[in-house]
Amino acid sequence: MFIEMIIAGITMDPVSNTPIIILKDLEGKQALPIWIGVLEASSIATILGNIKPPRPMTHDLLKNILDNLQVTVDRIEVTDIKENTFYATIHLLVDNEKIAIDARPSDAIALALREHSPIFVDEKVIENSRSVVSDKPEGEEKGSKDKEAEKWKEILENLSPEDFGKYKM
């Protein structure tokens, strides 16, 4: 089953210095962190901050192409996580025909924001992401991965909008 989610914000992983987009369900009970690239984070932050670049950026260009071809983004779905890599699908409507396009979640989310399209996440992705918080070197004490996952769960559940200004990109 898919759960509709919104972007709670973008922050930086203080350990790896990698951008993280945080999705939360509409009730604010479940959160999903997705580590993304700097360029994708910049594209998402631009639209979240209502910043209008003088020339179209890549995701703006894609939106302009879809608009001119009268194609709409019906929804995006984060569909899977395998070996720490998230997968997504962009669902398009073209002349009343549905087309599904494979995409990176960061690109799909950047496009969904520009198109005001809903974002959905498969429940299994949320569950599986809890066990894929970080890779620990062999030999660490048993249960350290569970402690790390629990720490991240607590951090994500207690995030507030003020927290997203802490880290500069």
pLDDT tens-digit readout, 92-101: 999 999 999 9
Distance in angstroms (rounded) separating the CA atoms of residues 61 and 65: 6
SS3 of residue 102 by DSSP = strand
Distance in angstroms (rounded) separating the CA atoms of residues 110 and 30: 21
pLDDT tens-digit readout, 55-81: 999 999 999 999 999 999 999 999 999
| Architecture of domain 2-133 in this structure | Roll (3.10)
pLDDT value, residue 138: 40
Query: Which residues sit opposite 32 in a β-bridge?
Result: 23
